Structure formats: C-alpha cells, structure tokens
C-alpha cells in the first residue's frame, strides 16, 4: 500500500485534501473508517495529547491496528495532533505513528524553530513525517488555547521551513479551533495563503480549526437539552476552494465529529428513556459520523483517490 508521502504529493497534484479526523474511542474511529471506505479516500486518523491520555497508548494502538485489519483497503495514517513537546512527539514516533505534529506556535519564533528541528531530526531518523505550525489559531482545542488570531507571516514561513526541514506546515489564515469560530461572516485570508505559497512553492500546508459546525447538529443539540446556541464554523465552499486552488493537503476536523456524536446521543436518550443498552445509540452515532465523513471527503475533493 502507498504511504503518506505518496498521498501528500498526490493531493497537491490532484487538488484534494486529506481529512484528518480526531477520534477518542472505537465508535468515532469506526465511523471515520466506514466513511473513508464509502468514498475510497486516504485518511488521517488523529489523536491529540488529551485523547492520548484519555485512551492510553495501548488503546490508541490497539484501536488503530484493529482498524487497519478491518479496513484493509483503506490507507489509514495515525497522526499525533498538537504535540506540545519533544518528549510527546518522541513517544509517538517510538510507537510508530505515521506522522507527528509539533506545535510550537505559541513559542517565540527561535524557540519554535529549535523544538521543531529537534523533533524533525528524531522523527526523520525513524521514517516519520513532521507537521509544524507557525502562527497561532484562536480558540480552544484540548490544552491549546489562544485569545487572539495571529496570521502566519509568509516570509517567516519560508525561513521556518528551510531551517527546520519540517515536511508540512499548519498555517493560520483565519480559521479557529472549537465550535464558536466566527461572530460574523467567516473569512479566510486567501491572500495570505497565496503569499505563503509564493514563498514555499509546492509545499504541503495544513488547515486547522476548519470544522464547518453543521447547523443541523447545533439545532439538534439545543432541541434535546444542550446549549450550544450561536455555534458557527467555516463555510464549506471556502474549504473546497482551499483544496482545489491552494496547497492545502490536510484539513483537520474534530469539533464536527464531536457534535455529530453528541447530537445523536442526546436525541436517542431523550426519545428512548427506558433504553439501557449503549450499543443502540452508539450504532447510530457510528452511522452519523460515517455520513459526516462522506460529506467532508466530498467537500475536500477526496473521492476515489486510493
Ligand atoms: Zn488544531
């Protein structure tokens, strides 16, 4: 089977992006795999540091290896999302993750360069790819938080890649982590993205905080006792544009999967007060996540790419 390196090149050449979907349990991972199987899409399955602690390394690897066996024809790549230290990234490399992200974006530039370079040297010696980040995204994602959006500086991006030798770069162009992304109209700074691409021709870039927060889930969560009023995400048309017209090779999705999951559970539990069998609502959640991943892969132009 072709590796992640092949699909990174292929995604830039054929103008699609690979969905990087976060999972925290078997149900989410299964839903993601079912969706990927339906659209025949190479797929990145991500574990954040928080999810890593929640499941522990044996469950993470156990679930991932089980998915590889159950979905033999689908290229599934295990990725560490937002590794905050060399030690965490080293652990993921030693556990044979396919790629790791070192997120030094909240550090001063020189410190970000230093820690990223250290991770790259170690990971490359073990055949593992490294995603780095420059510029800070607004919002909250596990232990990552930032109150102001700082866009990626295109000239600094070039210097950063040259000095660290990272394989891919997460850029900040106006996306934001979490369910409350925009108070007004969602704007992505495609002008900044184009400048980055001029400075780094053909270099694979990553979009974080790119959940679209489908209103059907917001509505359902609120209808069944939740309170996520006003939650809003990125317009999917903008994401498709980023895949087709720019060098975005990977789009992270976490919030939307959580919302699909919790909306399904809330509805079922409220409508079926006598049920005590978790398989009932978890089966529905797997199906909902599957449908969401199919929609996402369409949005990312990632159909029949295997
Ligand atoms: Zn992120």
On the question of pLDDT at 135 being above 80, the answer is: yes
In order of their start, the domains of the chain are 4-299 (3.20.20.70)
* pLDDT tens sequence across 24-58: 999 999 999 999 999 999 999 999 999 999 999 99
Residue 188: which of 226, 238, 152 has the closest Cα?
238
For ligand 1, the distance from its centroid to the CA atom of residue 229, given in whole angstroms, is 22
Ligand 1 mean position, distance from CA 169 (Å): 12
3-state SS record for the chain? CCCHHHHHHHHHHCCCCEEEEECCCHHHHHHHHHHHHHHCCCEEEEEEHHHHHHHCHHHHHHHHHHHHHHCCCCCEEEEEEEECCHHHHHHHHHCCCCEEEECCCCCCHHHHHHHHHHHHHHHHHCCCEEEEEECECEEEECCEEECCCECCCHHHHHHHHHHHCCCEEEECCCCECCCECCCCCCCCCHHHHHHHHHHCCCCCEEECCCCCCCHHHHHHHHHCCCCCCCCECCCHHHHHHHHHHCCEEEEEECHHHHHHHHHHHHHHHHHCCCCCCHHHHHHHHHHHHHHHHHHHHHHCCCCCCC
Q: Which of 63-67, 209-213, 243-247 has the lowest mean pLDDT?
A: 209-213
Across 1-15, 133-147, 230-244, least confident range: 133-147
User: How many angstroms is it from 70 CA to the middle of ligand 1?
Assistant: 28
Is a pLDDT exceeding 90 seen at residue 302? yes
Q: Does the pTM exceed 0.85?
A: yes
Q: In the prediction, which pLDDT does 143 show?
A: 47
Examine the residue annotation and report whether 167 is marked as an active-site residue of this protein. no
pLDDT score, position 139:
60
CA distance 22 to 73: 20
The one catalytic residue among 81, 103, 167, 254: 81
How far does residue 296's CA lie from ligand 1's centre (Å)?
A: 17
What pLDDT shows up at residue 257?
97
Which is higher by pLDDT, 70 or 149? Answer: 70
Mean pLDDT of all residues in 260-269: 98
Find the 270 Cα to ligand 1 centroid distance in Å: 32
8 A C-beta contact, residue 141 and residue 209: yes
Determine the distance separating the centroid of ligand 1 and the alpha carbon of 180, expressed in angstroms.
Answer: 14
Taking the C-alpha atoms of residue 207 and residue 228, their distance in angstroms, rounded to an integer, is 24
Residue range 138-178, pLDDT digits in tens: 565 554 455 555 789 999 999 999 999 999 999 999 887 87
Whether the CB-CB separation of 168 and 206 falls below 8 Å is answered with: yes
Residues across the chain: 306
Q: What is the mean pLDDT of residues 78-101?
A: 98
């Amino acid at each position: 089977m072709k590796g992640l390196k092949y699909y990174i090149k292929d995604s830039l050449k054929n103008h699609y992006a690979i969905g990087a979907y976060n999972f925290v349990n078997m149900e989410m991972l299964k839903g993601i795999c079912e969706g990927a199987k339906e659209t025949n899409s190479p797929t990145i399955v991500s574990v954040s540091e928080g999810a890593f602690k929640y499941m522990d390394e044996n469950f993470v690897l156990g679930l991932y290896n089980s998915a590889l066996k159950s979905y033999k024809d689908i290229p599934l790549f295990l990725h560490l999302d937002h590794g905050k230290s060399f030690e965490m990234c080293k652990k993921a490399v030693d556990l044979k993750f396919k790629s790791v992200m070192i997120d030094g974006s909240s550090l001063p530039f020189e410190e970000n360069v230093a820690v990223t370079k250290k991770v790259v040297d170690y990971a490359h010696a073990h055949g593992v790819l490294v995603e780095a980040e420059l510029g800070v995204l607004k919002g909250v994602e596990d232990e990552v938080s930032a109150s102001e959006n700082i866009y990626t500086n295109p000239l600094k991006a070039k210097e950063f890649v040259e000095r660290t030798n990272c394989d891919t770069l997460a850029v900040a162009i106006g996306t934001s982590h979490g369910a409350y992304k925009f108070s007004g109209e969602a704007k992505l700074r495609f002008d900044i993205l184009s400048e980055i691409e001029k400075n780094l021709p053909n270099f694979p870039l990553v979009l974080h905080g790119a959940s679209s927060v489908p209103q059907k889930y917001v509505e359902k969560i609120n209808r069944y006792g939740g309170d996520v009023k006003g939650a809003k995400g990125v317009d999917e048309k903008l994401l498709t544009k980023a895949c087709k017209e720019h060098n975005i090779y990977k789009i992270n999705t976490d919030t939307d999967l959580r919302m699909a999951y919790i909306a399904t559970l809330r509805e079922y539990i409220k409508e079926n007060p006598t049920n005590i069998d978790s398989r009932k609502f978890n089966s529905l959640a797997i199906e909902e996540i599957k449908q969401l991943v199919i929609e996402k892969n369409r949005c990312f132009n990632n159909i029949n790419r295997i």
